[in-house]
Amino acid sequence: MKNSKKYKTGSSVIIMIIFLMLSFSSYVYAHRVYLFAWEDGGTIYTESYFSGNKKVQDGIIRVFNMEGKELLSGKTNDAGEFSFRIPEITDLKIVLESSMGHGAEYILKGSEISEGEKIETNNASEIVESIDTEALPDTDQLKRVIDAALDERLKPVIRELAMLREDKGQGVTEIIGGIGYIFGIMGVIAYMQSRHRLKGAGRKA
Amino acid sequence: MKKKIGFILFILMVAFNCNAFAHFGMAIPSTSMVMQGDARDVIFEISFSHPFEMVGMDMERPVKFELIMNNEKTDLLPSLKETSIMGKKGWHMSRKINRPGVYWLHVEPTPYWESAEDCYIIHYTKTVVAAFGDDEGWDRPIGVKTEIVPLTRPFGLYAGNLFQGVVLVDGKPAPGTEVEIEYYNRDKKSSAPNDYFITQVVKTDSSGVFSYAVPKAGWWGFAGLNTSDKKIKHDGEEKDVEIGAVLWIEFKEMK
């Protein structure tokens, strides 16, 4: 996904041949093509589609920064999707090239990307709220986000435990409190997973 | 003599009530289309009012308020907040549209008792917001008691376009249905030459289809009216229920 250097002369020739082949195929869709992109949990997702809900398959996606430097490129799958890890926290110009010269572009603002990064360092209750109002992320992202929250919250507990080893007798109530907090977070995970299961497969239509 | 005058006045009052005002279930989003670069927050305003004369009516909290996108229903009733619309009790909420798609909004109000017509009224009201170029699902019924299913894509429309739709009752086309059509005179700048113009009427044909060419840019409401097969009791007596399939869509001025 990330290594655009691999897309050099050999790949360019193949792409050219595919392009020429496709341009001789029957002109089925006179529809407009659309590209939509969004950030979630450190990954940028893109969807490419024609009006009439046909997905763009094997569409080439190129990602540029606003200075015009190509950061990465890739191809859409059968569902018109292509995703990649955030290359830079900056305004990104995502361009779709499809067969028969259809094209679309999407400007993803740096502010939209950096918001996503912030979520991972907020506390658990804030994460639950923001997930509730957005489309539900899949299990991997859920785990990543909750891992980050757990790390944040366990740090002081671990520190306390270390201190306790040297300072016996004190901080027992804090330890019990910390353990109680862990139970609370496990409850949140169980709740999110059960909600995710109830909602069924897939977060988008 | 006094009784006679009183009776005549009563008749006039009832007659006047029946003819003058057409009340519409209203569901108006702040925008009918969200595109790349647009603000993504859409505010929905829900009321039961007279859209042309801009006369409001108190509306109780709806029974149902849901967002439907690609057969997925989201219950938004808990987020609905009371507000004032045309000086009367109405409802509103804000929703962020973050993904491409066609978002149908459906409101089912509590049955409204219309004493002048001696019946209950339930307007099953729909409106639609299209986002980021996606148009899948614009022609799909949402499966409520009665609804208008568009035959013309209900967004990206110009004033002057012909709009066509099918009125369904219990999922089946309803021929011979009267469809009342009214303009949302939001800025109160429009005036009608006489009462006939305030609410125009077309009828559905033998396939349940109606057509209407919209003369002016703005929001237009279409209400296909039928009588329900079910009755509701009022003060111990069974009363008829007028069910309205209402659809609100926006038309823009062509440049």
State the CB neighbour count (10 A cutoff) for residue B189: 7
Nearest-angstrom CA–CA distance, A159 and A175: 10
User: β-strand B232-234 against B237-252: which pairing, if any?
Assistant: antiparallel
Give the single-character DSSP code of A191: H
Rounded to whole angstroms, the Cα distance separating B66 from B46 reads 12
Chain B residues closer than 8 Å to A107 by CB:
36-37
Average the pLDDT over each of A156-170, B25-39, B75-89 and give the range with the smallest value. A156-170
**For residues B78-87, average pLDDT:** 96
Q: Find the CB nearest A34 among B37, B96, B133.
A: B133
Whether B100 and A106 lie within 8 Å, measured CB to CB: no
- CA nearest A134: which of A44, A48, A38, A35? A38
Cross-chain residue pair A135–B36, CB shorter than 8 Å: no
Q: How many A×B Cβ pairs under 8 Å?
A: 38
**pLDDT average, residue stretch B93-116:** 95
Task: Write phi, then psi, for A115 (nearest 5 degrees).
Answer: -60, -40
Q: Are B47 and B125 in contact (CB under 8 A)?
A: no
Query: A135–B69: do the CB atoms touch at under 8 Å?
Result: no
Average pLDDT on B38-46 reads 96
C-alpha distance from B45 to closest chain A C-alpha (Å): 20
- Of the pLDDT bands very low, low, confident and very high (cuts 50, 70, 90), residue B6 is low
Residue B62 is given by DSSP the state P
Instruction: State the average pLDDT over residues B229-249.
Output: 96
User: Residue B120: its pLDDT value, please?
Assistant: 95
The answer to whether the beta carbons of residues B252 and B31 sit under 8 Å apart is: no
Q: Is B138 on the interface with A (CB under 8 A)?
A: no
Tell me what pLDDT residue A145 has: 73
Higher pLDDT among residues A159 and B144, named by residue: B144
What was the ipTM of the complex prediction? 0.71
State which residue of chain B sits closest to A204, comparing Cα positions: B99
Output the average pLDDT for chain B: 92
Q: Find the mean pLDDT for residues B29-48.
A: 96
Per-residue pLDDT of chain A in tens (205 residues, 90 and over written 9): 555 555 566 777 776 766 566 555 444 445 678 999 999 989 999 999 887 778 888 889 999 999 999 999 999 999 999 999 999 899 999 999 876 667 899 999 888 886 544 443 334 444 344 444 445 556 777 777 787 777 767 766 766 665 555 555 556 777 888 888 898 999 999 988 888 887 765 554 4
How far apart CA B114 and CA B121 sit, in angstroms, is 7
pLDDT value for A130: 40
pLDDT band, residue B13 (cuts 50/70/90): very low
pLDDT at B72: 92
Residue among A51, A106, A135 minimizing CB distance to B36: A106
Minimal C-alpha gap between B139 and chain A (Å): 11
On chain B, the residues whose CB falls within 8 A of the CB of A134 are 98
Q: Which residues of A touch B71 (CB under 8 A)?
A: 205
- What is the pLDDT at residue A27? 43
Distance CA A136, CA A199 (A): 9
User: CA nearest B36 in A: which residue?
Assistant: A106
Contact across the interface for A107 and B72, Cβ inside 8 Å: no
**CB-CB under 8 Å, A133 with B96:** yes
- Residue B19: per-residue pLDDT: 31
Structure-token match 């709740």, residue found:
A191
Interface of A with B (CB under 8 A): 32, 34, 36, 38, 47, 49, 51-53, 106-107, 133-135, 204-205
Read off the pLDDT band of B138 (50, 70, 90). Answer: very high
- The average pLDDT across B108-121 equals 93
Q: Quick check: B100 and A34 CB within 8 A? A: yes
Interface check B69 vs A, CB under 8 A: yes
For A205, the closest of B36, B37, B72 (CB atoms) is: B72
What's the pLDDT at A198?
79
Q: Which pLDDT value is given to residue A197?
A: 83
Q: Kindly report the nearest CA distance between residue B70 and chain A, in angstroms.
A: 6
CA distance A148 to chain B (A): 25
For residue A102, give Cα distances in angstroms to A62, A188, B134, B177: 14, 45, 16, 44
- Whether residue B244 is predicted with pLDDT greater than 80 in this model: the reply is yes
How many angstroms separate the Cα of A153 from the Cα of each of A41, A125, A167, B29, B108? 19, 12, 22, 42, 45
Q: What pTM value is reported for the model? A: 0.69
**pLDDT for position A30:** 56
> Across residues B158-165, what is the average pLDDT?
98
CB B145 within 8 A of CB B243: yes
